[in-house]
Structure 1
Amino acid sequence: MSEPGVRVLGRACAVLDCFTEAEPCLGVADIRQRTGLPATTVARIVTTLVQEGLLVREGDDYRVGLRVLVWSAPARAGSSLLGVARPFVEQLRDVTGESAGLYVRQDHTRVLVEAASSHHSVIYRGYVGQVLPLHAGAAGKCFMAFDGQALTAAATAGFERYTDSTVVERDRLDEQLALVRERGWAYSESEREVGLNSVGAPIIGFGGRPEAVLAIGGPSTRLDQAAAERVGPIVAATANAIAARMGHVPTEERVDV
């Protein structure tokens, strides 16, 4: 069993994870619903986070406090992944013409940690800190295809249907993940949002699991199946190049920017 202090820290993180750019202000009832924690526990944690400046109360709602900004700069500066990946993300955007992003896994979700927006007028516009599901979208399927723990976490959370194209049947999903493993990259069509397609490839770390996933997203009018077949190997090669720069693959497989 976890130590009490560790358990409290985990619950505090769960509370902070409830806040997103789309929903920056939440009430106690919202937090309780998202975390599944008892009302008394949520109230106690929220009070402590307010005292520490990590949450700010505005009427009956709460938002993340500015204190977290003190940690964001050193976190980005100290991340070897972001430092290495940033120029590759921008290069992938320039080569494919579509918005490119870098995702890391957080339990049954993926979080966008680096982004480069397309220069087209009609684009997919993600934002750093955006939290998305694993089962809907190419990036998430790369995590699940190469990491059994990611697949288990997603299955435990449940496969929510976002569009008619969202794959929620386990047998169909397993077939898709097998194809991702076979070709080294994933393609999804309108799985999370109608008209939005994506291509992703894993950045394999030590142990053979994805340390992150590199992906591009764009409208279905441009990023269709034919385009995916053309750019999929490019996304995979760029992901391998990032892994190479981080020392995760042999030197002869490296691809420089």
Structure 2
Amino acid sequence: MPEPGVRVLGRACDVLDCFTETEPRLGVADIRARTGLPATTVARIVSTLLQEGLLVREGDSYRVGLRVLVWSAPARSGSSLLGVARPFVDQLRDVTGESAGLYVRQGASRVLVISAASQHSVIYRGYVGQVLPLHAGAAGKCFMAFDEDALGTALDAGLERFTDATVVAREELDRQLAQVRERGWAFTESEREVGLNSVAAPVTGFDGRPEAALAIGGPSIRLDREEAERVGPIVAATARAIAARMGHVPAEEPADV
């Protein structure tokens, strides 16, 4: 028979396993029905998971907390995508001179799973495991532009304003996403942090939707609109090269990389 601590851990996992992409929010009654655990046991486990940040309460329902998303980054570190993408991220940093990174989507958030810091003195400093919103920033726009589920999830979560430049109106968001689809890459200015701009492109998966988003970020004094027009196609070509190396799209060498 399992030790008490192991048994409790197993039951906590059973509770967390109840939450899925199609049912991200559940009430206590839903959790009881799915696990078959007694009401007192469910209440005790849910209370502990809340304290540890593994669950978040929203009214009478619960959802998985962002702490779980942070753990997902190292969990993905051995994936083939990360192994393939790492040299491309480093190369993109060297070619553009700006910090480069690869993001994967988790619900209404994006998680940085590869980071390559710029050699400039004034740079964007991201870190592996960093959790950021989809709607603010070029990488998130790539997920929303090419994946209806990502867009719907972001809208359901709400378009929080971070700066005066954050897009919170649906009409403007739709206009920007159409532009991303038209040119194949995204450029955003000061949407999450004043003075921080970014350029990103989708890394297409087998189903045609983004498996990841490749991005560079830098201060607006360097990464302005003119510079974005120059490096945008490079970021997009590099993202396609990653997808090709994964076998998702026909092989194509990235321009100037």
TM-score (norm 1): 0.75
Q: State how far apart, in whole Å, the 2-side matches of 1:160 and 1:95 are.
A: 33
Q: State how far apart, in whole Å, the 2-side matches of 1:12 and 1:158 are.
A: 20
2:124 aligns to what? 124
Contact 1:12 1:45 in 2 (8 A): no
Q: State how far apart, in whole Å, the 2-side matches of 1:220 and 1:240 are.
A: 26
- Name the SS of the counterpart of 1:188 in structure 2: strand
Q: 1:75 Cα shift?
A: 4.5
Q: State how far apart, in whole Å, the 2-side matches of 1:10 and 1:228 are.
A: 42
Counterpart residue type for residue 77 of structure 2: R
The one-character-per-residue Cα deviations of 1:30-65 (angstroms, maximum 9, x if unpaired) are xxxxx9977x85751464799xxx9xxxxxxxxx8x
Q: 1:100 Cα shift?
A: 0.2
Q: 1:246 Cα shift?
A: 0.1
1:221 aligns to what? 221
Could you tell me which runs of 5 or more consecutive residues in structure 2 were left unpaired when the two chains were aligned.
Answer: 1-10, 29-39, 55-66
- Name the SS of the counterpart of 1:127 in structure 2: coil
- Name the SS of the counterpart of 1:206 in structure 2: coil
- The 1:75–1:212 alpha-carbon spacing in structure 2 relative to 1, beyond 3 Å, is closer
Asked if 1:162 corresponds to 2:169, the answer is no
- The 1:89–1:46 alpha-carbon spacing in structure 2 relative to 1, beyond 3 Å, is farther
Q: State how far apart, in whole Å, the 1-side matches of 2:180 and 2:89 are.
A: 21
Q: 1:255 Cα shift?
A: 3.9
1:8 aligns to what? 15
Contact 2:19 2:26 in 1 (8 A): no
Contact 1:245 1:254 in 2 (8 A): no
- Name the SS of the counterpart of 2:77 in structure 1: helix
2:45 aligns to what? 44
- Name the SS of the counterpart of 1:201 in structure 2: strand
Q: State how far apart, in whole Å, the 2-side matches of 1:96 and 1:113 are.
A: 20
Q: How many residue pairs are counted as aligned between the two chains?
A: 215
The one-character-per-residue Cα deviations of 1:182-231 (angstroms, maximum 9, x if unpaired) are 00000000000000000000001111100000000000000000000000
- Name the SS of the counterpart of 1:76 in structure 2: coil
2:109 aligns to what? 109
- Name the SS of the counterpart of 1:119 in structure 2: coil
CA RMSD of aligned residues (A): 3.2
- Name the SS of the counterpart of 2:82 in structure 1: helix
Contact 1:103 1:139 in 2 (8 A): yes
Give matches, 1:19-34, under 5 Å. Answer: none
Give matches, 1:189-208, under 5 Å. Answer: 189-208=189-208
Counterpart residue type for residue 194 of structure 2: V
- Name the SS of the counterpart of 2:121 in structure 1: coil
1:236 aligns to what? 236
Counterpart residue type for residue 9 of structure 1: L
Q: State how far apart, in whole Å, the 2-side matches of 1:48 and 1:140 are.
A: 28
Could you tell me which runs of 5 or more consecutive residues in structure 1 were left unpaired when the two chains were aligned.
Answer: 14-34, 55-63
Q: State how far apart, in whole Å, the 1-side matches of 2:14 and 2:149 are.
A: 21
- The 1:95–1:168 alpha-carbon spacing in structure 2 relative to 1, beyond 3 Å, is same
